[in-house]
């Protein structure tokens, strides 16, 4: 199981890493596209600047000075300029040869106009889909890679990319290189869809990881609670059995003392009833898992039902509680499963007693509101925190508070209560404050009981 979680985690982390790498390379490829754009802009600007100078001198530049029939690499050409005639070797494989030739032809007559070149370069970038950011140029001696002239501003911010060197004379001795600020915002804007997709995938992956951890920790918690519940259950089951066995053994000894044997029999009955109630609760909870919960509902007199509850918790043996029952209903009967509903009330009252210090003060208030029957069980006991309030109806849940942990219990009582109340189409809610007591309110709808 552990290795499965590890594998899942590994896969999820790999997805996230993959996304990160994907985004990085996508950004780099968009950046490369920008580099190509500025390279083209620079090449175009150089051509245009030369053309401009050439035109100023009254010439026209031919960008394809090759003879179509001649396929040799080096072509010796006779060049006739305005007032001179000379021969040059043109390298067919050198794509800048025309440019260099043109530079060569006019360089002595009209030198390169740096300011114009810069303007043209920026204009060309402006014609592309990128906005013009900061740019500067460097003139390089290509023989020793020495920077002859640099327009680099003194303070630079942001990241810059540079073009290749574009040779600007026939002797391959001088080149030009342009630098431009990376338009990160524009690139990121271009990547919006990919970023959204990738972000959502990473978010989903993160949610999955957190959900996984949540499930693992929840499972561990439930397993721990289940384990301690089983331990408590074993203890709780053993107690009534051993009490009943001890008392049963005493009956033959005191068979002549009717008072004693009657009391022992009554106690045995009480302990065995407790055992039956426990087993019933567990049975119902496990049945509810299989959606097999069956209730035998019948019409029950409200007054009789709550009198029985009062009797159960009154008397010398039950002096741990001061139980008040307030009946404020006009209806005489309600439609319930008497056995299970009695167990529900027992659970609530017993909890109220169990989670109170000293003699418990418990009030059961039965009243009607908007055609619904409400039963409130209120105590002035230890109360509970809001975290506990959110979990007490969960299976095996028990508060971590010292006052609760000291008391016996296996965290199934309220799960059973909620199940039975639901079986009566009702709801149960709790109002409680730590140290101030708790109130459980059951609400049964109009349809769940009949008028007599």
HSE, side-chain direction, 13 A CA sphere, residue 50 = 25
Nearer to ligand ADP, 381 or 426 (CB): 381
101 with 170: CB under 8 angstroms?
yes
Strand-pair category, 360-369 with 372-379: antiparallel
Which residues inside 107-146 make contact with ligand ADP, applying CB under 6 A?
none
Closest chain position to ligand ADP (CB): 409
Q: Which of 240, 413, 423, 426 binds ligand ADP (CB under 6 A)?
A: 413
Q: Output the 3-class SS for 338-380.
A: HHHHHHHHHHHHHHHHHCCCCCEEEEEEEEEECCEEEEEEEEC
Question: For residue 391, what are its two tokens?
Answer: 């979990």
State yes or no: residue 392 binds ligand ADP (CB under 6 A): yes
Q: Which of 121, 264, 410, 449 binds ligand ADP (CB under 6 A)?
A: 410
Q: Which of 46, 414, 421, 448 binds ligand ADP (CB under 6 A)?
A: 414
Phi, psi of 432 (to 5 degrees): -160, 150
* 296: exposed, middle or buried (Cβ count in 10 Å: 0-12, 13-18, 19+): exposed
**Range in contact with ligand ADP (rule: CB under 6 A) among 75-83, 156-164, 211-219, 402-410:** 402-410
For residue 146, what is the enclosing H or E element? strand 146-150
**Range in contact with ligand ADP (rule: CB under 6 A) among 42-50, 58-66, 194-202, 377-385:** 377-385
Q: How far is the CB of 325 from ligand ADP (least distance, A)?
A: 17
State yes or no: residue 381 binds ligand ADP (CB under 6 A): yes
Cα–Cα distance for residue pair 399/187, rounded to 1 Å: 55
Q: How far is the CB of 415 from ligand ADP (least distance, A)?
A: 6
Q: Which of 323, 345, 373, 412 binds ligand ADP (CB under 6 A)?
A: 412
Q: Which of 102, 167, 351, 366 binds ligand ADP (CB under 6 A)?
A: 351
Q: How far is the CB of 436 from ligand ADP (least distance, A)?
A: 10
x/- letters, 294..333, toward ligand ADP (CB under 6 A): ----------------------------------------
Bridge partners (DSSP) listed for residue 136? 179
Residues in binding contact with ligand ADP, number by CB under 6 A? 23
Q: Which of 404, 431, 441, 445 binds ligand ADP (CB under 6 A)?
A: 404
State yes or no: residue 398 binds ligand ADP (CB under 6 A): yes
Q: Quick one: which of 332, 310, 423, 320 has its CA closest to 377?
A: 310
Task: Tell me, rounded to whole angstroms, the distance of Cα 429 from its chain centroid.
Answer: 29
The contacts of residue 1 (CB under 8 Å, 6+ apart) are: none
Q: How far is the CB of 381 from ligand ADP (least distance, A)?
A: 5
Q: How far is the CB of 324 from ligand ADP (least distance, A)?
A: 15
Q: How far is the CB of 392 from ligand ADP (least distance, A)?
A: 4
**10 in helix, strand or coil?**
helix
From residue 190, how far is each of 155, 158, 193, 200, 258 by CA, in Å?
Answer: 28, 19, 8, 17, 96
From residue 3, how far is each of 6, 8, 205 by CA, in Å?
Answer: 5, 9, 19
Phi, psi of 135 (to 5 degrees): -140, 160
Question: For residue 16, what are its two tokens?
Answer: 């996230």
State yes or no: residue 438 binds ligand ADP (CB under 6 A): yes
Q: Which of 105, 166, 364, 384 binds ligand ADP (CB under 6 A)?
A: 384
Which residues inside 200-229 make contact with ligand ADP, applying CB under 6 A?
none
State yes or no: residue 399 binds ligand ADP (CB under 6 A): yes
Q: Which of 27, 379, 428, 448 binds ligand ADP (CB under 6 A)?
A: 379
**Range in contact with ligand ADP (rule: CB under 6 A) among 106-114, 250-258, 305-313, 407-415:** 407-415
Q: Which of 175, 183, 240, 409 binds ligand ADP (CB under 6 A)?
A: 409
First to last CA, the chain: 59
Footprint of ligand ADP (CB under 6 A): 347, 351-352, 355, 379, 381-384, 388, 392, 397-399, 404, 409-415, 438
């Amino acid at each position: 199981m552990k290795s499965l979680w590890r594998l899942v985690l590994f896969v999820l982390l790999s997805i996230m890493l993959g996304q990160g790498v994907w985004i990085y390379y996508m950004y780099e490829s968009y950046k490369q596209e920008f580099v190509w754009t500025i390279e083209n802009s620079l090449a175009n600007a150089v051509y245009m600047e030369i053309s401009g100078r050439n035109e100023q001198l009254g010439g026209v530049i031919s960008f394809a000075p090759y003879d179509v029939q001649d396929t040799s690499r080096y072509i010796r050409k006779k060049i006739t300029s305005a007032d001179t005639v000379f021969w040059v070797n043109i390298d067919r494989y050198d794509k800048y040869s025309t440019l260099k030739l043109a530079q060569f032809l006019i360089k002595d007559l009209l030198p390169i106009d740096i300011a114009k070149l810069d303007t043209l370069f920026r204009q060309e970038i402006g014609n592309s889909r990128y906005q013009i950011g900061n740019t500067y140029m460097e003139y390089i001696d290509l023989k020793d890679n020495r920077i002859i002239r640099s327009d680099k501003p003194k303070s630079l911010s942001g990241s810059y990319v540079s073009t290749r060197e574009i040779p600007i004379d026939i002797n391959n001795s001088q080149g030009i290189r342009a630098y431009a600020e990376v338009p990160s915002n524009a690139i990121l804007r271009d990547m919006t869809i990919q970023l959204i997709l990738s972000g959502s995938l990473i978010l989903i992956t993160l949610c999955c990881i957190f959900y996984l951890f949540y499930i693992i920790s929840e499972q561990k918690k439930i397993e721990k609670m289940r384990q301690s519940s089983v331990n408590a259950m074993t203890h709780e089951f053993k107690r009534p059995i051993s009490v009943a066995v001890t008392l049963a053994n005493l009956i033959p000894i005191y068979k002549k003392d009717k008072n004693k044997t009657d009391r022992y029999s009554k106690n045995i009955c009480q302990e065995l009833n407790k055992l039956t109630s426990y087993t019933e609760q567990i049975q119902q909870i496990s049945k509810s898992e299989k959606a097999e919960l069956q209730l035998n509902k019948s019409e029950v007199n409200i007054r009789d039902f709550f009198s029985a509850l009062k009797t159960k918790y009154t008397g010398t043996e039950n002096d741990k509680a001061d139980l008040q029952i307030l009946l404020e209903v006009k209806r005489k009967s309600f439609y319930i499963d008497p056995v299970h509903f009695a167990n529900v009330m027992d659970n609530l009252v017993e909890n109220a007693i169990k989670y109170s210090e000293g003699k418990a003060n418990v009030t059961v208030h039965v009243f009607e509101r908007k055609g619904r029957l409400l039963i409130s069980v209120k105590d002035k006991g230890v109360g509970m925190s809001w975290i506990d309030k959110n979990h007490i109806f969960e299976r095996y849940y028990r508060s971590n508070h010292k006052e609760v942990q000291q008391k016996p219990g296996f965290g199934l009582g309220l799960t059973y209560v909620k199940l039975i109340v639901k079986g009566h189409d009702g709801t149960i809610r709790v109002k409680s404050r730590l140290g101030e007591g708790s109130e459980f309110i059951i609400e049964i709808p109009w349809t769940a009981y009949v008028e007599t």
